[in-house]
Amino acid sequence: MEMRRLLMPEIDEVIRQKDWKTLKGILVELESQDIAEMLEDIPYPEKVIIFRLLSKEQANETFSYMESDEQEEMLHHFSKNEIKDIINGMDPDDRNDLFDELPAGLVKKYLEFLTPDEREVAALLLNYPEHSAGHIMTTDFIELYEDITADEAINYIRKNAKESETIYISYVIGHHRELVGVVSLKDLILAKPEVIVKEIMDDNPIYVNTMDDQENVANLMKKYDFLAIPVVDSDGRLVGIVTFDDIMDIIEDENTEDFQKMAAMSPMEMPYFSLNTIKLAWNRFIWIFVLIVLESISGNIIQRYQDVLKVVVALAIFIPMITDTGGNAGTQSSTIVIRGLATGDIELKDIFRLILRELLIGILIASAIGIVAFVRAYLFHVGSLIALTVAIAILITIFVSNLTGAFLPFLFKSLKVDPAIAAGPFITTIVDITGLVIYFEVAKRLLHI
């Protein structure tokens, strides 16, 4: 159960009465994630007052769980010493998330607030490109030498537990800090105390490089069910780890990005309500604008066939049916391929196998819908010849759209463009053009115009 929901009415009452002493007692019982969520809805200056009621450890944790725009605003309300405490107390990876969102000037100022050690770590992470393993990793992990015993290792872990993000996996390094193995606390605990680490460690561990994309890191961790994965630099030296909790957030973010791209929007870095309205409107306008420009080709096509339309105005009735249905077929196949490429179910090498299959599926769907379209058009009392035109046009359109939808994401991927862009709105606009040409060409031939 989430405690906060149960307690919320009570907490609200306590805050209203400014009964900080009672509140302090309640806060101790809550999870940091819940306090962060609760603080979102509380105005200043109460927000800062309540935050100051937290113990140092709880304050650090709660701050880390807040959205970056909330963190930024909160820092403006803090004293210099409070800022120092908070940003020195943050885990390196969480701090890096915050720094990503802050203006450069502020980052520079805050870097000076850090102790020399923390500053060095912060600068290291900031230097790696966004979305790279080096940028999202933490430097707080346990490293061991291979020639100590399991018992010594456990004692070492005990002593360093506080400064490490996980104690369940330790990393074994050589004398040049190169990664030589990985050993889990489970293996250490199950081993005889006098066994040497070298003998129980996995000496061929899976790792990522600092410059690897976070999506690859996530895919590896998902595949191997890792609690954490080591990150090595270009010289093979162990510099950090990425833990599963960060990966869950990354998977969510990457999925959200794909959803946004597939709906013709640029990825938005923050939750909806944290975003500036003007920026949001601009992000959406620009894509609708691009698509309208692309779409004017459809207008040109209809204009070119205006003479056909003048003779048989009834043809206009079915323009939306042709374009929509083509768009729907293209959306289906492109989504399957885009999603398959993202999860790894479909790879570039599968292209021929997939196109072959989509050919078959296209024939099945197109024939069935062709019949439906004939019946539907006939019910409009436009005569069987126009109904036949619609049926044949929709049959060819679905077939072509389906293949276009299946093929474009592959093309984009092999051109190193994100395949997610080849989705819904984009496909719809493309297949409108082909659909209309098919429609009018079929009409011209069948109706002898």
CB under 8 Å to 359, separation ≥6 — which residues?
403
Q: Which of residues 105-134 bind a second copy (CB under 8 A)?
A: none
Separation of alpha carbons 304 and 308, rounded Å: 9
Estimate to the nearest angstrom the gap between the alpha carbon of 294 and the chain centroid: 28
Stretch that binds a second copy, among 15-23, 89-97, 114-122, 420-428 (CB under 8 A): 420-428
Our CB check for a second copy shows the closer of 110 and 434 to be 434
Listed in sequence order, the residues at least 6 apart from 100 whose beta carbon sits closer than 8 Å to its beta carbon are: 68, 130
By CB under 8 A, is residue 3 in contact with a second copy? yes
Give the shortest CB-113-to-a second copy separation in angstroms. 27
Listed residue (25, 84, 96) closest to 60, CA to CA = 84
> Which segment (1-9, 47-55, 70-78, 131-139) binds a second copy by CB under 8 A?
1-9
Asked whether position 329 contacts a second copy by CB under 8 A, the answer is yes
Q: Judged by CB under 8 A, which of 7, 20, 31, 355 binds a second copy?
A: 31
284 binds a second copy (CB under 8 A): yes
Binders of a second copy in range 299-328 (CB under 8 A): 299-300, 302-303, 306, 309-310, 313-314, 316-321, 323-325, 327-328
Overall size of the chain counted in residues: 449
Closest CB 84 distance from a second copy, rounded Å? 26
Our finding on whether 439 is near a second copy (CB under 8 A) is: no
Instruction: Let me know: does 38 contact 46? Beta carbons within 8 Å.
Output: no
Kindly identify the residues of this chain, within the stretch 134-153, that bind a second copy according to CB under 8 A: none
Q: Does 22 bind a second copy (CB under 8 A)?
A: no
Rounded (to 5) percent helix, strand, coil in the chain: 70, 10, 25
Stretch that binds a second copy, among 101-109, 140-148, 352-360, 440-448 (CB under 8 A): 352-360
**Measured from the CB of residue 338, what is the shortest distance to a second copy in angstroms?**
8
360-399 residues in contact with a second copy (CB under 8 A) are 360-361, 364-365, 368-369, 372-373, 376, 380, 398
Residue with the two structure tokens 């819908």 = 369
Residue 280 in contact with a second copy, rule: CB under 8 A: yes
- The C-alpha atoms of residue 322 and residue 373 are separated, in whole angstroms, by 9
Please identify, among the stretches 29-37, 85-93, 114-122, 125-133, the one whose residues bind a second copy according to the rule CB under 8 A: 29-37
Q: How far is the CB of 203 from a second copy (least distance, A)?
A: 10
Alpha-carbon distance of 271 to 390, in angstroms, equals: 44
Question: How many chain residues are in contact with a second copy, going by CB under 8 A?
Answer: 114
Q: Please, which residue, 23 or 394, has the CB nearer to a second copy?
A: 394
134 close to 96: Cβ distance less than 8 angstroms: no
Mask for 56-95, x = binds a second copy (CB under 8 A):
----------------------------------------
* Shorter beta-carbon distance to a second copy: residue 107 or 363: 363
The residues with which 242 forms a beta bridge, in sequence order, are: 229
**250: Cβ–Cβ under 8 A, 6 or more apart, which residues?**
136, 214, 215, 217, 218
User: Least separation, in Å, of the C-beta of 105 and a second copy?
Assistant: 29
By CB under 8 A, the residues from 250 to 279 that bind a second copy are 251-252, 255-256, 258-260, 262-265, 271-273, 277-278
| Options 68, 71, 138, 331; binder of a second copy; rule CB under 8 A | 331
Considering the rule CB under 8 A, would residue 343 count as an interface residue with a second copy?
A: yes
Angle between helices 424-446 and 319-343 (to 10 degrees): 140
Distances (CA, A) of 291 to 298, 337, 423, 435: 11, 22, 12, 17
Yes or no: say if 11 and 23 are a contact pair by the CB < 8 Å rule.
yes
Residue 386 pairs in a beta bridge with: none
3-state secondary structure of 434: helix
Cα 153 from Cα 404, distance rounded (Å): 58
Query: At its nearest, how many Å lie between a second copy and the CB of residue 276?
Result: 11
| Residue 279 Cα distances to 256, 265, 283, angstroms | 18, 12, 6
